[in-house]
């Protein structure tokens, strides 16, 4: 397939944040200090953590677990990173479009995260420093959860997830966890005994990803384990993955916890991808990315942000900050290259072990929209999105899109909400 230059998509990069190692003996003292100093964003009254909240953490019984190596697969992506363009359209097996209904209340800002369940689609966007809109699975608008400091309102949203055990949407804000019905009706909120970055509901508990220096002051040893495991009452069961390169404040990715068929955990500047086993509370090293031919030397990370910045911009190096997705039998890895001002994507067929990808995705605008790399999944589908436009050729000419989908987007303009794109891949 030949692609005209004007219909080639460049995968651009954006900015980021990071972490480093420490000793377990400081855990209890530093956490107590952290919690005594923490303050609530929503309530003016209770601006310090109580003794009850501190004791609820179960600090005396916390275990710093060692991760298992297991059957580690080495994924050699060196040849893929040398590529520029790849035939993305040839990879795509099916596409379905879900236009998000546009109303005065449903307007969507820049999207941070898409969370799809069997019945709903939740959009975490940039509206008012973190908004949350609820749609049904066909894209019909249900409600936008209001922003504010009252009960059920959002103030400084960090992450969302869906608790399948309790059939509840959960929204994490600084110091609070709010619970909603699947339709977004407020149920309750809980004050939290600590701050973090990402949250994932697991059977009987939560996985929590913690970023050093986030919201609690600096230098506290306990939170510099990047992965915490808690029960549903936020008693900490174990901590894993000591952080590293804490002096590199490069922050351009919003997720380090992934849940589809498996629970996957990643870390910034760590080329190992982990699988979490909820039944045994074990973290297993699953995949190791090999890109040694073009990898940013760790010495530049050890010397601080200034050295990292100059080395990554002046030299043709790649580095991995944890961007990963898995849909069915397919994986997606993304690596950054600041010198090229690009992000290279690598798709892998787990059954065959074959790889494809590059920095530029080739496609025909007559057949499909220009898609950024997906940032979410639903079962065996990857999820991306695009801004609609009335005169896109694929609105009428596409041989990939169904007639029903073409009719859905034919009259949409750039003033309408984004169109979500759910796509499956061919075996390769």
For the domain that residue 345 is a member of, what is the CATH number? 2.120.10.30
Residue 378 covered by a domain: yes
- Other Cβ atoms less than 10 A from the Cβ of 46: the count is 13
159, 210 Cβ separation under 8 angstroms: no
Asked if residue 114 lies in contact with residue 395, where contact means CB atoms within 8 angstroms, the answer is no
What's the rounded Cα separation, in Å, for the pair 108 and 141?
11
409: part of which helix (H) or strand (E)?
helix 403-409
- Specify if 282 maps to a domain: yes
* In-domain check, residue 155: yes
Q: Which tokens go with 301? A: 């990370």
Query: Residue 251: what pLDDT?
Result: 72
Specify if 294 maps to a domain.
yes
Q: In 10 A of CB 260, how many CB atoms? A: 16
15 contacts 321 by C-beta, under 8 angstroms? no
* Domain assignment present for 185: yes
CA distances from 198 to 90, 111, 211, 242, 415 (A): 34, 16, 9, 16, 31
DSSP 172: E
Beta bridge partners of 239: 64, 228
| Residue for token pair 């956490």 | 31
The tokens for 270 are: 């760590």
- Kindly list the distances between the CA atom of residue 269 and the CA atoms of 193, 225, 288, 336, in Å, as whole numbers in the listed order: 28, 14, 12, 11
- 228, 252 contact by CB (below 8 A): no
Instruction: Let me know: does 341 contact 12? Beta carbons within 8 Å.
Output: yes
Total count of domains within the chain: 1
Q: Please report where in the chains the tokens 């019905």 appear, as a residue.
A: 181
3-class state of residue 314 by DSSP: helix
Quote the radius of gyration of the chain (alpha carbons, Å): 22
Q: How far apart are CA 68 and CA 153, in angstroms?
A: 41
pLDDT value at residue 46:
40
DSSP label at residue 393: T
Q: What count of other Cβ atoms lies within 10 Å of the Cβ of residue 207?
A: 23
- The pLDDT, as a whole number, for residue 320 is 96
- Residue 197 counted as domain residue: yes
Distance CA 161, CA 201 (A): 7
Q: How confident is the model at residue 80, as a pLDDT? A: 95
Residue of 212, 318, 222, 227 whose CA lies nearest to 264: 227
Tokens of 251: 């922050």
- The sign of the CA dihedral 18, 21, 22, 23 is positive
User: Would you give the end-to-end CA distance of the chain in angstroms?
Assistant: 16
The answer to whether 276 touches 282, Cβ cutoff 8 Å, is: yes
Q: What are phi and psi of 34, to 5 degrees?
A: -60, -45
Domain for residue 247, yes or no? yes
- Minimal CA–CA distance to 331: which of 241, 253, 258? 258
Note whether 72 and 207 are within 8 A (CB): no
Q: Which domain holds residue 342?
A: 5-39+69-425
For strand 257-259 and strand 263-265, is the pairing parallel, antiparallel, or unpaired?
A: antiparallel
Residue 111 domain-assigned (yes or no): yes
Structure token pair of residue 402: 């169904």
Q: How far is CA 56 from the centre of its chain?
A: 28
Could you list the beta-strand ranges (E) of 70-136.
Answer: 73-76, 85-86, 92-99, 111-116, 120-125, 131-136
pLDDT beneath 70: ranges in the chain: 1-70, 212-223
Measured between alpha carbons, how far is 145 from 385 in angstroms, rounded to an integer?
22
Strands (E), 157-281: 157-163, 168-173, 176-180, 186-191, 198-202, 205-209, 225-231, 236-242, 257-259, 263-265, 272-277
């Amino acid at each position: 397939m030949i692609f005209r230059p004007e219909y080639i998509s460049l995968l651009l990069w954006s900015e980021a944040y990071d972490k480093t190692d420490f000793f377990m003996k400081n855990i209890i003292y530093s956490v107590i200090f952290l919690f005594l100093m923490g303050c609530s964003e929503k309530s003016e009254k209770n601006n310090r953590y109580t003794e009850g909240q501190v004791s609820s953490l179960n600090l005396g019984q916390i275990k710093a677990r060692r991760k298992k190596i297991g059957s580690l697969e080495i994924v050699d992506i060196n040849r893929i990173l040398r590529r520029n363009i790849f035939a993305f359209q040839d990879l795509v097996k099916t596409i379905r479009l879900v236009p998000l209904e546009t109303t005065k209340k449903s307007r969507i800002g820049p999207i941070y995260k898409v969370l799809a369940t069997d019945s709903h689609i939740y959009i975490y966007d940039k509206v008012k420093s973190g908004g949350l809109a609820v749609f049904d699975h066909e894209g019909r608008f249900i409600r936008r959860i209001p922003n504010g400091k009252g009960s059920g309102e959002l103030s400084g949203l960090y992450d969302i997830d869906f608790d399948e055990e309790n059939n509840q949407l959960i929204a994490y804000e600084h110091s609070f966890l709010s619970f909603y019905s699947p339709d977004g009706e407020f149920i309750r909120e809980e004050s939290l005994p600590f701050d973090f970055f990402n949250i994932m509901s697991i059977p009987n508990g939560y996985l929590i990803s913690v970023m050093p220096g986030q919201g609690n002051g600096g230098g506290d040893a306990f939170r510099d384990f990047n992965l915490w495991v808690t029960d549903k009452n936020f008693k900490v069961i174990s901590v894993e993955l000591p952080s590293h390169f804490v002096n590199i404040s490069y922050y351009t990715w919003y997720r380090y916890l992934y849940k589809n068929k498996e629970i996957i955990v990643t870390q910034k500047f760590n080329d190992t991808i982990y699988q979490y086993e909820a039944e045994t509370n074990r973290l297993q090293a699953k995949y190791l990315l090999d890109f040694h031919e073009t990898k940013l030397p760790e010495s530049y990370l050890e010397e601080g942000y200034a050295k990292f910045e100059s080395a990554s911009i002046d030299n043709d190096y790649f580095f991995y900050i944890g961007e990963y997705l898995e849909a069915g039998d397919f994986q997606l890895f993304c690596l950054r290259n600041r010198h090229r001002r690009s992000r290279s994507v690598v798709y892998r067929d787990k059954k065959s072990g074959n790889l494809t990808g590059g920095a530029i995705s080739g496609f025909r605008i007559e057949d499909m929209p220009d898609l950024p790399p997906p940032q979410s999944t639903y079962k065996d589908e990857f999820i991306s999105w695009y801004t609609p436009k009335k005169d896109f050729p694929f609105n009428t000419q596409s041989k990939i899109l169904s007639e029903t989908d073409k009719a859905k987007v034919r009259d949409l303009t750039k003033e309408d909400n984004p169109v979500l794109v759910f796509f499956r891949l061919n075996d390769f």
